[in-house]
Amino acid sequence: MEKFERLERKIIAKGTIIDYCQDTIKTPSGHIVTWDFIDNKGASAVIPVREDGKIFMVRQYRNALERETLEIPAGGLKDRNEDPKAAAARELEEEIGYTSDSLTWLLSLRTTVAFCNEKIDIYVADNLKKSRQNLDEDEVIEVEAYSLEELCSMIYEGKIEDSKTIAAIMSYKNLVSRQER
Q: What is the pLDDT of residue 74?
A: 97
Q: Where are the domains of the chain?
A: 5-39, 41-180
Catalytic residue among 137, 149, 157, 161: 137
Q: What is the pLDDT of residue 65?
A: 93
| Amino acid making up residue 19 | D
pTM over 0.85: yes
CATH fold for domain 41-180: Nucleoside Triphosphate Pyrophosphohydrolase (3.90.79)
Is residue 137 among the annotated active site residues? yes
Q: Give tens-digit pLDDT for 50-109.
A: 999 999 999 999 999 999 999 999 999 999 999 999 999 999 999 999 999 999 999 999
Q: What is the pLDDT of residue 134?
A: 86
